[in-house]
Chains A and B, each alone.
Chain A
Amino acid sequence: MPADTTGRVIAVIASTQKMDASRIAATSTFEELGIDSLDGINIAFGLENEFNVDIPDDSLPQLRSVADIVAGIDKLLAAKGGA
């Protein structure tokens, strides 16, 4: 359920960045949100806990937007479900 994933991803970003969720849209980029690489690590930590997945280190540099994260998480969840 991509829509559900998006809502949970936005909630994780809002909570780790101490940011009002209303500022974050499904189309937001890290640049627009002022998220740097250290913030990205913290968001990945939040996502791993929220979705109970392991995000590989080398995928982090490719995650530059909410949409990137949602796509990545859906892929990880599908791989987990299919395992």
Chain B
Amino acid sequence: MTARRVAVTGFGVISALGRDAAAFRQALEQGRSGIGPHGFDVRFPNAAQVRDYEPAQYFDDKQAGLIDRFAQFAIIAAAEAIAMSGIEFTPALKARTAIVTGTSGGGQSAIDDGFLDLYKNGMPRVNPFTIPRTMSNAAASHIGMKYGITGPAWTVSTACSSSNHAVGQAYWMVRNGEAECALTGGSEAPFSPGFLKAWEAMRVVSPDTCRPFSRDRKGMILGEGGAMLVLEPLEAARARGATVYAEIAGFGMSADAHHITMPSPEGAAAAMRAALADFPLEQIGYINAHGTGTPANDPAETKAIRAVFGAHAGKLAVSSTKSMHGHTLGAAGAIEAVATILALLHGFLPPTANFNEADPECDLDVVPNVSRRAAPVAALSNSFAFGGLNATLLFTGPSLAR
């Protein structure tokens, strides 16, 4: 069969910028950062956390004890996305709906809690829910149970590309007729003492804030949250009268095969080229960059964008919303997919916040500090993981879906 067009008919997001898509959009338009003190005893004092989050606001006590924070974020985002889509899960559709989630660390804080009890607090046993809380597929499984969805469900873990890869796989399934609907995205909750010490030892986290593409950038800022999308064949979405917020028009993956932590511009470029395989690149008006704010990533990504786009690179806007919601690791691809969709939908370019000074090695229009009215019709969202695993999603706005 021929490939079907794939519509985004719902999305949800919870992050340091707020608990839903409306709050997220507002922060992106205002260029407001969600970065602040985290209170853990590590060298870097700041992070992008979901402030004042209480599981009891969303889950009963029993559920909250069984479901780790990372999975809670995905469930909350999925509920928003499904409500927005207005989709009705008939028994037939439930069996033909896929769930594909991404996470890097899964419920690592559940492991951390258990090992703290065991090694430090002298307790002889750990919480019996440690395994079901920890498993990376917990988010996909709980979403499936909540809505009775019985189609293919699985979880992708490719570090910082996890949920970009997840959305891409879900897109392929719907496009190729292997699912009639997909719930896809990802989530991450990296704030536990042991995991933060591991990030401290990696020496890639900024001592102050995240300044992507700025000459004085000093590293990334860790963030947490989750985002989920509802994908359907465009024809089916139209047939049921659903609002089409965006389309996914391409997806590319590649591996650097170069170094376990250092990025390669060639690998990043290959992912972007693969996403653009069937699409005129002159139509791309915006790129939501991987843009971690580390010394290594931003020049490599700039080089890759220039290699792919040539002269058109000078006409594109490229920004890193990680400057506001932090680097949410396995959730980054999904959260940034929502940022990209919002930009296309509402006609604005989210800024790169905390930007101080142009860097000749990052000589792109990075939309410094202030969002801009613009009407891009198509946009890329990049995720490049440690381990050199790259992913790029291509979205088109509703104007091209008609």
Contacts and interface: CB of A to CB of B under 8 A. Distances in A.
Contact of A44 (B203, B262, B295): B203
Given A41-B201, A41-B202, A45-B201, A57 B260 contact: no
A60 interface: yes
A45 B202 CA distance: 10
A12 to B, nearest CB: 15
Contacts of A44: 203
B219 interface: yes
Interface string B256-280: 0001111000000000000000000
B295 A61 contact: yes
B262 A57 contact: no
Nearest to A45: B201
A61 B262 CA distance: 14
B120 to A, nearest CB: 20
Nearest to A38: B261
A57 B43 contact: yes
Nearest to A40: B203
B219 A57 contact: yes
B262 A58 contact: no
B219 A38 contact: no
A55 B274 CA distance: 42
Interface residues of A, number: 11
Instruction: Tell me the interface secondary structure of chain B in the complex.
Output: loop
Interface string A46-70: 0000000010011011000000000
A45 B43 CA distance: 14
B207 to A, nearest CB: 7
Given A44-B203, A61-B295, A38 B218 contact: no
B203 A41 contact: yes
Contacts of B296: 37
Contacts of B260: 38
Contacts of A37: 261-262, 296
A41 B219 CA distance: 14
A54 B42 CA distance: 12
Contact of A38 (B207, B259, B295): B259
Interface string A22-43: 0000000000000011100100
A58 B216 CA distance: 12
B212 to A, nearest CB: 17
Given A37-B262, A38-B261, A58 B201 contact: no
Contacts of B262: 36-38
5 contacts: A36-B262, A38-B262, A44-B203, A57-B203, A58-B207
Interface of B: 43, 201-203, 207, 218-219, 259-262, 295-296
Interface of A: 36-38, 41, 44-45, 54, 57-58, 60-61
